[in-house]
Structure 1
Amino acid sequence: MTRADQTEIRMRIVIEQPVPGVLHSLQSGDDIPLDPKRSEAGERLAFDFPIRIAPGPGFFGDQVRREGPERRFVYIRIGQSAGDPSSPWSRRMKIDIHDIEQHLLDRATAGDGVIELSVNGTGKDGTPACATVQVAGRRIA
């Protein structure tokens, strides 16, 4: 698939209730933290980035990772992985994007807004959520 067959849209991942003081960042490339930020008192964190979509749908971009023929996801780096060497955590959240509903993709392609995915940033044990996290909400913002 050529880049000419792809349409750029905007994405936003919102981390709701992150563990206060813990650095989070997008992952770009193989090991590069991007746009690091931390919550001081549990306020939400938002990460905006472009992706490209193609018929199928196919998902492409610097933040898009692949697993198998269909699964596409974005990593949020946490703690040491996000660039904080003093953090007790070195984790990543895996946030699936391959299952975004077609009507949201259509609206984003038409320029109606940003696809926003929200996830809970704190695990059941009170530490930063990691591994595959469930998307709590999807909408056009």
Structure 2
Amino acid sequence: MAKADQTDIKLRIIIEQPVVGVLHSLQAKDDQPLAPKASRAGEPLLFDLPIRVAPGPKFFGDQVRRFIYIRIGQSAGDPSSPWSRRMKIDIHDLDAALLARAIETRGVIEIVVNGTGKDGTPACATVPAIRRRLAEG
């Protein structure tokens, strides 16, 4: 699809309740960790990224595949971590009205997920959104 048919928007992934001390990062296009960070005291981790939206909607960007991937532990660049995981966050089911408002207002779509699984370890696989909202850009 031609870039002329695509609109830039901002996306923010917020990982609430991450496991303290475990490195998380976006997954770059070359599958390498990008912007790794860890929670020191349970504070949320924020990852901002640009994406492009085309009619359909279809999504494009350096971190966009079928999902937005968050690498965890060894996968995020910490060789001493006991975990080597990826968290998958689906953006293809974003509400059309939310997308339209983000485009109109140049706001940031925030997707909040829980960073800790039921067993107390870092959440992985497909992680459902707790909430999605539009924040000011």
Q: Same fold (TM over 0.5)?
A: yes
Q: How many residues align?
A: 135
Verify the 8 A CA contact 2:9 2:106 in the aligned structure 1.
Answer: no
Q: Does 1:51 align with 2:51?
A: yes
Q: 1:6 & 1:99 partners in 2: Cα distance?
A: 17
Counterpart of 1:46 in structure 2: which amino acid? L
Please name the residue that 2:19 is paired with: 19
Which whole-Å CA distance do the structure 2 matches of 1:7 and 1:111 have between them? 12
Which aligned pairs between 1:5-84 and structure 2 lie closer than 5 A? 5-66=5-66, 73-84=67-78
Match of 2:130 among 109, 120, 136: 136
Matching residue's letter, 1:29: K
**Is the CA contact (8 Å cut-off) linking 2:110 and 2:132 kept in structure 1?**
yes
Contact 1:95 1:132 (8 Å CA) reproduced: yes
Does residue 115 of structure 2 align to residue 121 of structure 1? yes
Give the deviation of 1:112 after TM superposition: 4.2
Task: Measure how far apart 1:30 and its partner are.
Answer: 3.3
Q: CA RMSD in A?
A: 0.8
Give structure 1 regions of 4+ aligned residues with deviation exceeding 6 angstroms: none
Q: Which has the higher strand share?
A: 1
Unaligned runs of 5+ in 1: 67-72
TM-score, normalized by length of structure 2? Answer: 0.96
Q: State the distance in 2 between where 1:34 and 1:11 align.
A: 15
* DSSP-derived class of the 1:39 partner: coil
Partners of 1:116 and 1:14 in 2: CA distance = 7
Does structure 2 conserve the Cα–Cα contact (< 8 Å) formed by 1:13 and 1:118? Answer: yes
Confirm whether residue 98 of structure 1 aligns to residue 92 of structure 2.
yes
Residues 112 and 140 in structure 1, CA contact (< 8 A), matched pair in contact too: no
SS in 2 for 1:110: helix
Distance 2:101 2:72 in 1: 31
What residue ranges of structure 2 are gaps of 5+ in the alignment? none
Structure-1-length-normalised TM-score: 0.93
In structure 1, what is the equivalent of residue 80 of structure 2? 86
